[in-house]
Amino acid sequence: MKAILTTPPKGGVKIAEIKLREEKGLRLRTLRTGICGTDKEIVEGRLNFARTETGNELVLGHEALAIVEDSGDSNEFKKGDIVVPMVRRPGNCRMCRLGRQDYCEDGDFVEAGIRGKDGFMREEFYDKEKFLVKVNDKSIADLAVLTEPMKNVMKMVEIFNFQRNRIPTYCDDSTMNCKNLYVFGTGTEGLLISAVFKTMGLNVIAVNRHPPDDTVAKFLEINDINYLDTSKESISSHSKKYKMDFAIDAVGSMDIMRDISLNISNNGISILFGTSGQMPSSNYEFLGNLVDKNIAVIGSVDGAKVHYAEAIEFISNYGRKMSLDRLITGIYKPEETGIFTNKEKGEIKKVIQWS
């Protein structure tokens, strides 16, 4: 069968014929896989924790949608069911045994297509039912490839809801209508964050350093999400008019952390998701603000099975209404491996169609 392979930590990408290794569980046929920044970093040899499962090649792909070909002895799934496989697989620590490998305590986990486990960019694979999440609503089959990046957002909602009980953060009418959330980054993850938090009643401001391209502008308009172009107006000026109550970063640049800590309101909540590793252009004095302003800063990576299920539910309820299809800006054949290194104009999420 066809598979897309890389050689970590060196990177590179190629399509090759590999054998289907028989494993315990269900036999699945891949329908679609998405590619994201993590895949690109692996291919460019920039993700230092990328590693193979066996030998010196890794099957890429952690964002997938698949169909059950053979359900084995599963009671939960049958042939023809559509499923999303989970990325991270547990080790033996306490959190992993609770199904919260996203909060793994000792790092003894593997991640499909990223570290220590072959991924889903191949025609078929085997998986255990425990790591599969069913998509009951087949009408969202075209969008459900967004489940994996969206599960990261659902974990952020969980974190956000814990934090906002620290100090009540709702408005005096019990809603969050008067509260502003700044979301840094307008790639897939940034836009999914903006969409999900918008449905919680917040005023969402998507932030980037340049004007939005047409696809992004249209998506934001449909969903009544505001845009701040920091090449035209600074964060500090904008946040004087629209208080930065909450901030979520999907970029990972130190300068954004600086902007957040300098401009966020007292008792603010900020969630850091981005990992681009862009280093600071300034000193670290701004960190003092976090203390003086009681700011909660929470790092967030990955998500648990419950968040995959919530993501599927969200896509089923809001996917069409919020035009999530606009985020899928290109559908490609597995052979078109140039998509890992080229950046298309207006690209948001690229998807590979397997069958």
* Cβ closest to Zn ion, residue 43 vs residue 269: 43
Could you tell me the smallest distance in angstroms from the CB atom of residue 117 to ligand BGC?
11
Contact partner, 87, from ligand BGC, Zn ion, none, Cβ < 5-8 Å per class: ligand BGC
Contact partner, 114, from Zn ion, ligand BGC, none, Cβ < 5-8 Å per class: ligand BGC
* Cβ closest to Zn ion, residue 31 vs residue 295: 31
Cα–Cα dist 23/35, whole Å: 25
Could you tell me the smallest distance in angstroms from the CB atom of residue 209 to Zn ion?
22
Amino acid at 98: L
* In contact, 272 and 297? CB cutoff 8 Å: yes
* Cβ closest to ligand BGC, residue 39 vs residue 259: 39
Contact partner, 6, from ligand BGC, Zn ion, none, Cβ < 5-8 Å per class: none
Give the bridge partners for 328, in sequence order: 349
* Cβ closest to ligand BGC, residue 148 vs residue 245: 148
Contact partner, 127, from ligand BGC, Zn ion, none, Cβ < 5-8 Å per class: none
Contact partner, 27, from Zn ion, ligand BGC, none, Cβ < 5-8 Å per class: none
Of all residues in this chain, which one has the CB nearest to Zn ion in the complex?
36
Which stretches of the chain bind ligand BGC, using CB under 6 A?
A: 36, 38, 62, 87-88, 111, 114, 148, 152, 301-302
Cα–Cα dist 74/72, whole Å: 6
* Cβ closest to Zn ion, residue 121 vs residue 206: 121
Closest C-alpha among 251, 164, 158 to residue 196: 158
Could you tell me the smallest distance in angstroms from the CB atom of residue 225 to Zn ion?
22
User: In this structure, are strands 203-208 and 180-184 parallel, antiparallel, or unpaired?
Assistant: parallel
Q: Give the 3-state secondary structure of residue 95.
A: helix
Pinpoint the alpha helices (H) of the chain. Answer: 37-43, 94-97, 147-163, 188-198, 214-222, 235-241, 254-263, 287-292, 305-318
Give the bridge partners for 249, in sequence order: 184, 272
Whether the CA torsion 221, 225, 231, 234 is positive or negative: it is: positive
Which stretches of the chain bind Zn ion, using CB under 5 A?
A: 36, 38
Could you tell me the smallest distance in angstroms from the CB atom of residue 111 to ligand BGC?
5
Instruction: Beginning with the edge strand found earlier in the chain, give each strand of the sheet holding 58-59 in spatial order.
Output: 11-17, 2-7, 58-59
* Cβ closest to Zn ion, residue 147 vs residue 263: 147
* Cβ closest to Zn ion, residue 36 vs residue 93: 36
Whether the CA torsion 222, 227, 229, 232 is positive or negative: it is: positive
Could you tell me the smallest distance in angstroms from the CB atom of residue 234 to ligand BGC?
30
Could you tell me the smallest distance in angstroms from the CB atom of residue 115 to ligand BGC?
7
Could you tell me the smallest distance in angstroms from the CB atom of residue 39 to ligand BGC?
8
Pinpoint the alpha helices (H) of 85-165. Answer: 94-97, 147-163
